[in-house]
Amino acid sequence: MADTQVFFDHINEGYKTKGDFITLGAAMLDGEAVTNALVKIPLKTMNRHGLIAGATGTGKTKTLQILAENLSEKGVPVLLMDMKGDLSGIAQPSPGHPKIDERHEKIGIPFEPKKFPVEILSLSEQDGVRLRATVSEFGPVLISRILGVSETQAGIISILFKYCDDNKLPLLDLKDFKKILQYSTEEGKAEIAKEYGRISPASSGAILRKIVELEQQGGDLFFGEKSFDTDDLLRVDENGMGYINIVRLTDIQDRPKLFSTFMLCLLAEVYSTFPEQGDSGRPELVIFIDEAHLIFKEASDALLDQIESIVKLIRSKGVGLYFVTQNPTDVPDAVLSQLGLKVQHALRAFTAKDRKAIKLTAENYPISEYYKTDEVLTSLGIGEALVSALNEKGIPTPLAATLLRAPMSRMDVLEDDELTDLLGESKLISKYNKELDRESAYELLNEKIETANQEEAKEKARKEKEAASRSSSGRSRSRRRRTSRSPLEKVLTSPTVIRSVLGILTKILK
Ligand SMILES: Nc1ncnc2c1ncn2[C@@H]1O[C@H](COP(=O)(O)OP(=O)(O)OP(=O)(O)O)[C@@H](O)[C@H]1O
Ligand SMILES: [Mg+2]
């Protein structure tokens, strides 16, 4: 039996912070919480990313809820990827429960039911603020990675983006993208070949098939206007609480491609628009991804590379990313190696393979004289977890089996009428939920083809008339030069300026 007082001092010393922090719970010794041995996470390190892992039903989503609420309370805005639709309750206070009071008594912090400012967002036609982005904003590099095309095809995509840029043809949605592809091998073939090189129909056909695949996963809903301004994720309410933005993704489980596309787009946009952060002592935004294995599950190697590099880079913008998943091995090693906070809930040892995985997981935690990590991993109760964090100097804190606090907000979802009220209060819905289909590449190219056809018909009629008059007058062949410029040479102008993060993305995504 270890000395409780010595353990208490060990935890207090290890989790001491100078700046602001959030409290997760109390450290446990021999299976019991040591009251007031608080496990505190400095706000300053919350942009260092994290992982919440553990078997099903062990409390991962509630841990996510606790972190989100406590950040919001400190004025830090949060973005939650809610895969199972079980987080909307954050907008209502907890009804409380004797068990919760008991838990908090053991921890040594008072339990205060509280609700938090919530905005509901959606990637599809579900209720909430519509999240959309234009094809132009993605830029050719990112689009190529998302579609998983070959080098040659990626080259073609770059040419088409350049052509559209040069000719002021906005690429807003997938309809525009498909149109320019088709145009490049049909009506616009000669024009594009002259300036930019020939595009083979086989390659453009292959790209088209990839676009259709993305469309089938709902990509057509995501690409288009009005494109979401990531600054709207940074709102703080009138009481100084950070908004908790919940993206409802219950309908995306079987569409992993759309999800990884969306995540990558969001991260790239955040990276390119947020200013570089100095040492502000707190994160600007914290993003939680529940059921995170879904992003990695079907991602191509190129896409994984992209996600890994952006995870690394985004930290400097004051953005923390937290992955929530059952098994740590669901997250690529390159991402795992960058994580500052690890909250490991219980793992279950049913099979030999499970036992091996537990041993491996245990080895990835700091050694502690107070715990046999592999044994603790299988004996943790619900709402308990092994925590390892970084202190303000960036040094790992002592490993702490932790009795976690309970969420201040409701652990259950909102009722329908509560959700309706919440959506009614939204200031962003009116800004983003109008369907826009302004003049873009699709319409402009159709117009261009139409003009070309008309000119061609006129030219034909003129020639026929000439031929008729020639044969009637018997004069020699007309040497008159063609005066009408080919419509394809005309530069089409549109009032639209393509809002492009292309340059930056190209740089960071190399
Ligand atoms: N910190 C906590 N305080 C009080 N109760 C908790 C806590 N964490 C978890 N629980 C209880 O455990 C239940 C399951 O938790 P949760 O939904 O977070 O599990 P999970 O690991 O996300 O499960 P799944 O893998 O199925 O998504 C909760 O409904 C709640 O009753
Ligand atoms: Mg869960």
Domains of the chain: 4-132+225-432 (3.40.50.300), 135-223+492-508 (no CATH)
What spacing in Å lies between the alpha carbon of 494 and ligand 1's midpoint? 53
- Ligand of minimum distance to the alpha carbon of 103: 1
- d(Cα 142, Cα 160) in Å, to the nearest integer? 14
Q: What are phi and psi of 42, to 5 degrees?
A: -65, 135
What spacing in Å lies between the alpha carbon of 269 and ligand 2's midpoint? 27
Which residue, 389, 376, 388, 387, is CA-closest to 347?
Answer: 376
Sign (positive or negative) of CA dihedral 393, 67, 233, 125: positive
Q: How confident is the model over 451-504, as pLDDT tens digits?
A: 877 887 888 888 888 887 777 665 444 433 333 333 322 222 222 223 333 333
- Ligand of minimum distance to the alpha carbon of 70: 1
**AA letter at 407:** P
User: How high is the pLDDT of residue 307?
Assistant: 81
Is the full-model pTM beyond 0.95? no
**What are the Cα distances from residue 105, in Å, to 13, 99, 336, 406?**
22, 10, 34, 11
Residue 98 · residue 414 · CB < 8 Å? no
- d(Cα 116, Cα 242) in Å, to the nearest integer? 8
Which residue, 129, 45, 138, is CA-closest to 79?
Answer: 129
Which of 24, 39, 61 most suits a substitution to test ligand 1, by most atoms within 8 Å of the C-beta?
Answer: 61
**What are the Cα distances from residue 327, in Å, to 107, 352, 357, 474?**
27, 15, 9, 88
What spacing in Å lies between the alpha carbon of 360 and ligand 1's midpoint? 24
Residue 117 · residue 409 · CB < 8 Å? no
Which residue, 168, 157, 170, is CA-closest to 196?
Answer: 157
User: How high is the pLDDT of residue 500?
Assistant: 35
Which residue, 12, 75, 14, 17, is CA-closest to 42?
Answer: 17
Nearest-atom index, ligand 1, CA of 84: 27
Residue 340 · residue 50 · CB < 8 Å? yes
- Ligand of minimum distance to the alpha carbon of 55: 1
Nearest-atom index, ligand 1, CA of 404: 1
Token reading at 325:
């998943």
What spacing in Å lies between the alpha carbon of 423 and ligand 1's midpoint? 26
Q: What are phi and psi of 253, to 5 degrees?
A: -50, -40
- d(Cα 507, Cα 510) in Å, to the nearest integer? 6
**What are the Cα distances from residue 452, in Å, to 12, 245, 448, 463, 494?**
77, 48, 6, 16, 18
What spacing in Å lies between the alpha carbon of 176 and ligand 1's midpoint? 45
Per residue of the chain (510 residues), give pLDDT as tens. 569 999 999 999 999 999 999 999 999 999 999 999 999 999 999 999 999 999 999 999 999 999 999 999 999 999 999 988 889 999 999 999 999 999 999 999 999 999 999 999 998 777 899 988 889 888 898 888 888 899 999 999 999 999 999 998 889 889 999 999 999 999 889 999 998 888 999 999 999 999 998 888 888 888 888 888 999 999 999 999 999 999 998 877 777 777 877 888 888 888 888 988 877 789 999 999 998 887 787 677 777 887 888 888 999 999 999 999 998 888 888 888 889 999 999 999 899 998 998 998 899 898 999 999 999 999 999 999 999 999 999 999 999 999 999 999 999 999 999 999 999 999 899 888 876 667 777 888 888 778 877 887 888 888 888 887 777 665 444 433 333 333 322 222 222 223 333 333 444 444
Strand arrangement of the beta sheet that strand 50-53 belongs to: 32-42, 21-29, 400-404, 384-388, 341-344, 50-53, 319-325, 285-289, 78-82, 244-248, 118-122, 129-130
